[in-house]
Chain A
Amino acid sequence: MPKHIVRLIALLAGFGVLAAFAKWYFTVDTFYEYGHYRAASVTEIAAQEPVFQTPRYCEACHQERHAQWSAGNHKSVICEVCHGAAQGHPQNGKLPIPKDTARLCSLCHEEMPGRPRTQPQIDVAKHSGGQQCIVCHNPHAPKIGAAAARITGDASAGQKLAAACAGCHGAQGISPNDIWPSLAGQHAAYLARILGAYKSGAQKDVAMTPIAQPLSDADVRDLAAYYGSLSCKSAPGPAKVGDAAAGKDLAKNCSACHGETGIAGNPAWPSLAGQKGAYLQNALKAFRAGLRKDPLMAGVTRGLSDADIANLAAYYAVQSCALPTEGKKTP
């Protein structure tokens, strides 16, 4: 064979050996161990640190909050969804407490086509009138109050018991003065709840507590049924305590629960239309001071000034309690 061919073949063979060696030499460590990939890669990926820590991690320090949360409706929403991932907490400081809750909560709760009907959804503008969600809702236990229960009470038995109440609340359930509340036509479910609260001590009132305590549960229901069946006398009294027009503006924030004109849509909440002005004023102040216990009302009254309270009371006092379908009581 000619010299140049021999040399060429030698050159090619040498190149081949070099290439094979280079391939063996430069192939990275751990490749081919478990398959056609670098085994160390699996270990590296598995070794990365998790960012979200899960509620179990939060529970270690925040037991009370965790307990409240895990008993409520938001137990499927982990802490870190709203507060951010807990990696590096508490070493790196506090986790943020969301401020614009209307924006945050509407991510899940804005009424939107495509959301299953089982998801609680609201029309944001209509529901809260632009208020922050946490004004009414505790984000860790968001469901508000007891559901409206059917009050099955005997109105005629209640009438007999009500004789003892007429001294303050009036013979027909219409209060003789501005201080004590009228009860006629009030939602029976609400009456049962508040009377029951006085009875159990959940609410304390100098006058009501000793009166409510001896009552039986059946008595409570009967009284509630009786007063709920009475007519509230549509014609309201004059505004005495404040500026009803100013109160009307403020009352927009209350309409979600108490109705636009003070007629509550949910029987669990009291109607305010035509209620005594001074009573409303005192009640709001008591809620604001925490003397009358209600976390929801405490929240909504926190930002109210005395003047606001007076105006609100005045507004509701002059509202007519007449329902469009007068006489039909929904239990």
Chain B
Amino acid sequence: MKKTKTSLAARRAFLRKLGRAATITGAVVGAGTAGVMQQAAAKSESPSASFPTPEYDWTHHRWGYGVDATKCIGCLRCVEACKRENNVAGDAHHFRTWVERYVYLEGEERPHIDSHHDPVNIEASGSEKEYRFANRYKGKKVEKAFFVPKLCNHCAHPACVQVCPTGATYKTADGVVLIDHKYCIGCQYCVQACPYGARFFNEEHGHSDKCTWCYHRITKGLQPACVEVCPVGARVFGDLKDTNSPISLFIRNNRVQVLRPETGNAPNVYYVGIDKEVA
């Protein structure tokens, strides 16, 4: 009797221990599996596949842009093409790219500067949707004059990205600063922070906007629309990783400079042929 009772108790005790061990093991194994599965799932979505498109891997490129202001004729085809390509508001107050004209008249130290928001130029073009420089210095004694195309500099240390409170604007691995139109809250802090005036607010859709170097084109092997339409080669674009790309050659063969280097933003648009007054 005692033996039976003991063996029964012992069996129960053993079973209890076994049960406890099984439960703990089960829990550990279960948790472990869940963890492993999660990791495996994460791995399959992890950055080993080509991003952002199957045909274009952004880790293989670093884009750069050049402007030869000695060549620009101020025809403004780039301004119109950009608006067409990127569906920018057809008025004289929202530009992803624009051209500035600098004119030094005889005997004057400071240049006259104008661009597409100038009422005289708006009148010359006939509407705010078309762009043209009025020939306003026709009879005057011009000492020096030139045109300077401007656009987002896609800085290496962009002030706009720094101040965005949500992460709606960011810099891609291939060096382009983009805006997530679906995430932007429209606070316009980035518009304030840009020293170059490259950003603007899209009132119709409630988000900030700017030049994207036509990211949708360059990821398909095309050039930005402004570079494509420039008839005189004043705008240059290419892959800085390729030593023979137009931009690499441009930087190598010219004394290039950037706008407002003192900001520390490290712009990636390189200028040739600008002047002391251009900023």
Contact = CB atoms under 8 A, between A and B. Distances in A.
Determine direct contact between A and B, CB below 8 Å.
yes
Nearest to B132: A107
B183 A38 contact: yes
A107 B147 CA distance: 14
Contact of B228 (A35, A54, A113): A54
B145 A46 contact: no
Interface in B71-99: 71, 73-77, 81, 84-85
A181 B75 CA distance: 45
Interface stretch (B165-173, B197-205, B262-270): B165-173
Contacts of B145: 113-114
Contact of A76 (B84, B147, B168, B232): B232
Interface in B139-179: 140, 142, 145-147, 167-173, 178
A206 interface: no
B231 interface: yes
A55 to B, nearest CB: 9
A113 B133 CA distance: 11
A42 B51 contact: yes
Nearest to B85: A51
Contacts of A108: 73, 75, 77, 231
B217 A77 contact: no
Contacts of B135: 110-112
Contact of B53 (A31, A41, A47): A47
B155 to A, nearest CB: 16
Contact of B103 (A54, A84, A113, A119): A113
Given A47-B53, A108-B231, A85 B75 contact: no
A130 interface: no
Interface stretch (B7-15, B28-36, B219-227, B242-250): B219-227
Contacts of A54: 222, 228
Contact of A115 (B52, B74, B77, B85): B74
Contact of B183 (A41, A76, A81): A41
Nearest to A35: B170
Interface string A99-129: 0000000011011111110010000000000
B222 to A, nearest CB: 6
Interface string A194-211: 000000000000000000
B56 interface: yes
A70 to B, nearest CB: 14
Contact of B74 (A43, A44, A114): A114
Contact of A113 (B137, B178, B231): B137
Contacts of B133: 112
A80 B80 CA distance: 11
A50 B220 contact: yes
Residue from the set B73, B142, B145, B167 with the largest chain A CB neighbour count within 10 Å = B73
Given A112-B74, A114-B147, A46 B219 contact: yes
B63 interface: no
B182 A52 contact: no
B51 A34 contact: yes
A78 B172 CA distance: 30
A81 B178 contact: no
B85 to A, nearest CB: 5
Contacts of A112: 74, 133, 135, 137
The 10 residue pairs across chains A and B that have the minimum distance between CB atoms: A114-B145, A37-B170, A48-B216, A41-B180, A113-B142, A36-B167, A113-B145, A42-B52, A108-B75, A77-B231
30 contacts: A31-B167, A34-B47, A35-B167, A39-B51, A41-B181, A41-B182, A41-B183, A45-B178, A45-B215, A46-B216, A46-B219, A50-B85, A50-B220, A52-B84, A76-B232, A76-B233, A78-B228, A81-B77, A81-B81, A84-B84, A107-B77, A108-B231, A112-B74, A112-B137, A113-B145, A114-B74, A114-B142, A115-B73, A116-B70, A119-B73
Given A36-B167, A43-B51, A52-B81, 8 more contacts: A48-B216, A51-B85, A54-B222, A107-B132, A108-B77, A111-B135, A114-B147, A116-B70
Interface of B: 45, 47, 51-53, 56, 58, 70-71, 73-77, 81, 84-85, 101-103, 132-133, 135, 137, 140, 142, 145-147, 167-173, 178, 180-183, 212, 214-217, 219-220, 222, 225, 228-229, 231-233
